[in-house]
Amino acid sequence: MGVMRIGHINIRVLDMDAALHHYENVLGLLRADRDGDGNVYLRGWDEWDKYSVILSPSDRAGMNHIAYKVESDDDLDVFRRRIEAYGVEVEECPAGRLPDCGRSLRFHLPSGHLMYLYAQKTYVGKAVSTTNPEPWPDGLKGAGVHWLDHALLMCELDPESGVNKVEESTAFMQDVLDFKLTEQVLVGPDGDIKAATWLARTSTPHDIAFVGGPVKGLHHCAFFLDEWSDVLKAADVMAKNKVKIDVTPQRHGITRGATIYFFDPSGNRNETFAGLGYLAQPDMPVITWTEDELGRGIFYHTGELNEAFTTVYTEGA
């Protein structure tokens, strides 16, 4: 029972044609649909539900909502009671409110980000089929990302006033949605302020992460690649397409993943994330990073923080 994995993310884009070139030809997502309001639905070639990314035309960049898929429709009733008991207002939405999905729950995290839970989404199958499949499909474009892997959300953090939405949102994900805390960054004079957390429901290092900042927002959404060589190829694809790269190929200390950070044409940060890192088993101890080693935790090779990495991000709903 419970949350299985990330289901999709809804991103606002300023220029749909430019966004589609980026997400289809640079990342290699497959277009699934386009509705009458101009929203475009995409998925990775190794995903089986209809979409994992919704691009919505807007006059401002950022995230509208993030959604996670639960195992069964009955789980939604359980989570509705849990969320309400926690003191968070939750709305039950009818089938179709989320396109091609069954009924869903709509609520805001303590950070203010809008989240949905749902159990059913239109099944379309993998691009390689599930009968005697090939290791990858022919005709992949760009980096050929496999699937939407995770998202990192910026949460308000002001130690002087005592506001710590990272800690509040982390507690909600653990206590209500049964996420496991895999890694954390502790800062402050006494080393007891949660400045960042990584949480999982699958066996990967994280299915969602929270990092403290002056205002809430979307730091990035990440797409999975197999290995380091795929990350390097993705960097070449980005260079050929003159994509604005934020961080060139690097390894994280936190999660141990190989990474590139870059921006879509609207300014939304993306990541290509490769490598399992480790198995986040239920009894794995929490990994803690201290303030003095934070640079190495984020950018293991250089060990140096990039100030823009935590100060530049787009608004999240």
CATH number at residue 60: 3.10.180.10
41 carries an active-site annotation? no
181 and 249 together in one domain: yes
| Residues 309/213, Cβ–Cβ less than 8 Å | no
Q: What residues make up the domain containing 241?
A: 148-311
Q: Is 278 a catalytic residue?
A: no
Does one domain contain both 79 and 152?
no
At CA 57, angle to CA 52 and CA 61, rounded to 5? 85
Q: How confident is the model at residue 275 (pLDDT cuts 50, 70, 90)?
A: confident
- Which candidate in 116, 150, 167, 219 is catalytic? 150
pTM above 0.85, yes or no: yes
Q: Which of 8, 22, 113, 206 is catalytic?
A: 206
Active-site residue 300, yes or no? no
Active site residue 220: yes
Looking at the fold, whether 219 and 89 belong to one and the same domain comes out as no
Summarize pLDDT for 284-308 with one digit per residue, the tens: 999 999 999 999 999 999 998 888 8
Q: What is the rounded CA–CA span in Å between residue 120 and residue 105?
A: 12
Catalytic position from the list 51, 68, 261, 313: 261
What are 182-235's pLDDT values in tens digits? 999 999 999 999 999 999 999 999 999 999 999 999 999 999 999 999 999 999
Geometric angle at alpha carbon 43, from 53 and 181, rounded to 5°: 65
| Strand order, beta sheet including 30-34 | 30-34, 40-43, 53-57, 3-13, 62-70, 114-118, 104-108, 90-93
Residue-level pLDDT at 160: 87
Tell me whether residue 113 is one of the annotated catalytic residues: no
- Our count of domains for the chain comes to 2
Query: Is 206 a residue of the active site?
Result: yes
Final residue of a structural domain among 118, 138, 171:
118
- Whether residue 258 sits in one domain with residue 113: no
- Collapsing DSSP to helix, strand or coil, 244 comes out as coil
- Last residue of one domain, picked from the residues 101, 118, 135: 118
